[in-house]
Chains A and B, each alone.
Chain A
Amino acid sequence: MDLHVTALELGKMIKEKKIGVREALDEAYAAIDNGGLNAYTNLCPEFAYTQADAVQRGIDKGELTSPLAGVPMSVKANISTKGIETNCASKMLSGYIPVYDATAVKKLKDAGAVIIGKTNMDEFAMGGSTETSYFGTAKNPWDLKHVPGGSSGGAAAAVISGEGYYALASDTGGSIRQPCSFCSVTGIKPTYGAVSRNGLIAYASSLDQIGPIGRDINDCAEVLKTISGHDSYDATCAKLDFDIGHEVKNLRIGLPRQYFTSALEPEIAKKIYDAAKVFENLGARISEFDFSGDDMTDYTVSAYYIIACAEASSNLSRYDGIKYGYLKEGQGLVESYINTRSEGFGIVVKRRLMLGTFVLSSGFYDAYYKKALNMRNLLRAQWNRIFEEYDVVLGPVAPTTAYRIGENINDPMKMMLGDMYTVAVNMAYLPAAALPCGFDRNGLPIGMQLIGKAFGENTLINAARAFQQATDHHKKFPDADAVKTDRIQYDKGGKNNAI
């Protein structure tokens, strides 16, 4: 079977009985077995084959009509899946088995999704490379010595390599978009409130959002259509009709000048300008603009880290070893808490919890946290003004292509600044799509980002679709033979033994 099909193409093949659901699943597991990417923290073959048989029966009876029915897919390790270990790539939640499905997972299962496993990520989504995963770093299929990005690095690596045909992931400050850029796949970070967060294990609740990663924008659009909508289990979930599929004419596209400075690799800048040319040739109107304030990126990244860490310090206080998760007993309750948290969390998580606690603590709250909230309001107002003049903003996803494993892990500033083009979207509650736009001189993928106004996903999707119809960057795949090394051993239950 040709592995280089999209999820919708595979769904069509299944409907037309050119391939069975079990057979499609066999192919995905074979790709995982041969891949050596460490893209998964755990697999669930028993669950998957049972689900595959049920979905096949549903399709045969005409009860399952979704174009995604029967397509093998993955779920990031921080999104709850009933009966399937959901460990957040952390020792703290290793062995944790949710007793309910996240709303987005339930919607996909109702549509006939076949979950093959949970994808590797940075511990509690804190990182941009998967190097903080308790289960070891996932690898970039384009060059195994490089990171796949993060935090959803496993998801992006899996999708481009046929280890599942689309993925459900999450984005707090770029965690869907940056790995898409590093691995040459397409992803959408939806507007805050467009997709229910029920069942998403919280990192920073006002920034987190679940979204799709796929091989092209049509796959992502179909997944987004399936998972979006109001959910009574998430009070921040918007009650509105989510419409995808309108024509967009005379698109006004803006390029922020401050995104194209010396901080951005020139090869990436060139590919983004090339992409702007493609849009121009398609009839869009392109112009450049300035943010108000030259230091806007520094303000935005600073405010993002303050808010994200503050919310994390609150959200992760629930890990006490009592109701679920890792437990290391001590002499008395407080010592048990300390032992459990000190052994259960990795060092990056600990540092972010300490930073978050610091900015919320007495004497520093006004100086840091309150200023960051003010900054967030300013940022939102600024983006609202930008969208009075433009339909879509085009820019880079990351300042570099995928870096080597170990290159940046000990430099938190480099890791923070790696998010400089993505965090504003989360801070301003906006939607954005990341899509492939070329390769650098080393053959590593380059991605671009389209940012839309709140609940403007239809415009983003149509712009992305027009670009992908005019280009073929998204149709390129890494050489599968080149990555058949260093096999990751999963045990019979699907547990990753790479620790």
Chain B
Amino acid sequence: MIELLGIEAIGNVVRAASTVGAVLAEALVLYVAYGLLTRVAEPVVRETIEGV
């Protein structure tokens, strides 16, 4: 029983670490991807708005 509880506790920690890791990974990917998108799209958007 104690062993089962121990395994469950470790499982919970692993699951929590995976959740935080997944959010971190998504944030880093989005930081790079949206950074590139902004660099490409910003001059075009600014030019379009200023020209209206």
| A and B assemble together | no
**A interface residues with partner B (beta carbon < 8 Å):** none
**B interface residues with partner A (beta carbon < 8 Å):** none
